[in-house]
Amino acid sequence: MADKAYITPIVFKWARESAKMTAETAAIKVNVPAERLLEWEAGASQPTIKQAQTLAKAYKRPFALFFLPDIPRDFQPLQDFRRSDSKSLSTGSVFMIREIQQKQAWISETNRENSEAKFPFVGRFTIKDNPADVAQDILNTLSISPGKYVTGNPIKEWIDKAEAKGIFISRTSFINSHLTLDSDELQGFAIADPHAPFVFINSEDWAAPQLFTLVHELAHIWIAATGISADVEPGFQKADELHPVELFCNEVAANALIPSRLLTNLGSHVFQSASQVFSVAKTFGVSSFALLVRALNLNLISLVHYKSLKMAADAEFKAFLIKQEAKRAKQKESDSGPSYYLLQIQKNSRLFTQTVLDAFRGGSLEPTQASSLLNVKINHFHNLEAQLHK
């Protein structure tokens, strides 16, 4: 007979519920009826050690946690700036937030212990300031010139320059092959810690919306507003539809990515056709829709003209989705795609990956902790380092 795991029922139940997992879903992972799992959570019976270990892995919790006498302190939930009718955070989103909180907590503690100076841009402004002023300060701090991207890859340039200033940028659309992230549920979040500012971007969207999300989340850092976002887009929402912080950060992003002076100087002729709009939008690294909304808000085009061009922008987006689906299908057939280690670096943040590897190589970080922080086995660290230097 298999050895029983004499877990603490209240902790066992908390671990499942904090993973946003139903009893039915959790029971499937250990091939038992949901009623049996609920018995374990009530203390009426006990799982085997193997079953408890399997569930610990599913909940992304240490196996030893199940034997604590009471529910442990956990990371505090991030403030939710999403609309009141937004989707509830699912298991994937909860795991992603928890993972970033673990990384951020380690780097923040390390920087504090090393007496590193606080980053002066964190909380430099408040929501009462002018969004255009915040946008300009972000551009000045990161040395970015909108519309003059050197690499031809705006989002990469923004990420590289943000990380060069000490802001950790994590970007992914999955936890693992079975657990993906829904951009309708979670587009991004920011942890505005002056010792270790961290930004997460859901990469399920295409590059242009991702860039808008990135700059929106940087605005959260600049006003020290830690929290979750899911309504990141340039638009004309009524003031009561979005949280004031989200409206403000959307304004900052629009001003930073498409400064009014630059757009006005281009002249109205750029809005004569959808192809011209697309060309200008590409220069700024934004979607045609974002550019049109910005032009409308600046009174550069009429509402009638906006609606006409938006139809073409919508068609452009649909065409993009079709191409993306075809691309995914082709990659699946050929079993090709981005390097696993590149995806891990993007998920961990390039800056965070380098920081952990430096600490590990310098002997100030235990191998098991380094492996846990990077989600990569120690004997594969050389693959991460090789990818970092490409």
According to DSSP, residue 301 is labeled: S
pLDDT at 333: 63
Cβ-based neighbour number of residue 374 at 10 Å: 22
- Mean model confidence pLDDT for the chain: 91
Residue at 111 is within a domain: yes
How many domains is the chain partitioned into structurally?
3
User: Would you state the pLDDT for residue 343?
Assistant: 92
- Same domain, yes or no: 289 and 269: yes
pLDDT, residue 129, reads 98
Residues 257 and 286 in one domain: yes
Q: Write out the DSSP string of 14-72.
A: HHHHHTT--HHHHHHHTTS-HHHHHHHHHTSS--BHHHHHHHHHHHT--GGGGGSSSPP
Which tens digit of pLDDT belongs to each residue from 162-178? 999 999 999 999 887 77
- Residue 73: inside a domain: no
Do 217 and 290 belong to one domain?
Answer: yes
Mark whether 22 and 99 lie in a shared domain. Answer: no
pLDDT for res 235? 61
Lowest-confidence region among 33-37, 80-84, 237-241, 307-311: 237-241
* Pair 158, 267 in one domain: yes
Q: Residue 332 belongs to what H/E stretch?
A: helix 303-334
CATH number at residue 47: 1.10.260.40
Determine the structural domain holding residue 40 and report its residue range.
Answer: 9-67
Residue 109 sits in the same domain as residue 209: yes
Note whether residue 145 is domain-resident: yes
User: How many CB atoms are closer than 10 A to CB 65?
Assistant: 17
Residue 336: pLDDT band (50, 70, 90) is: low
Sequence-distant (≥ 6) Cβ neighbours of residue 333 within 8 angstroms: none
User: Is 97 domain-assigned?
Assistant: yes
Q: Summarize the confidence of residues 366-378 as an average pLDDT.
A: 94
**pLDDT tens-digit map of 278-305:** 889 989 999 888 999 999 989 999 888 8
Residue type, 328: R
Instruction: Give domain status of residue 2, yes or no.
Output: no
Of 278, 224, 276, nearest to 249 (Cα)? Answer: 224
Beta bridge partners of 176: 179
Whole-number Å distance between alpha carbons of 188 and 230: 7
Has residue 334 got a pLDDT over 70? no
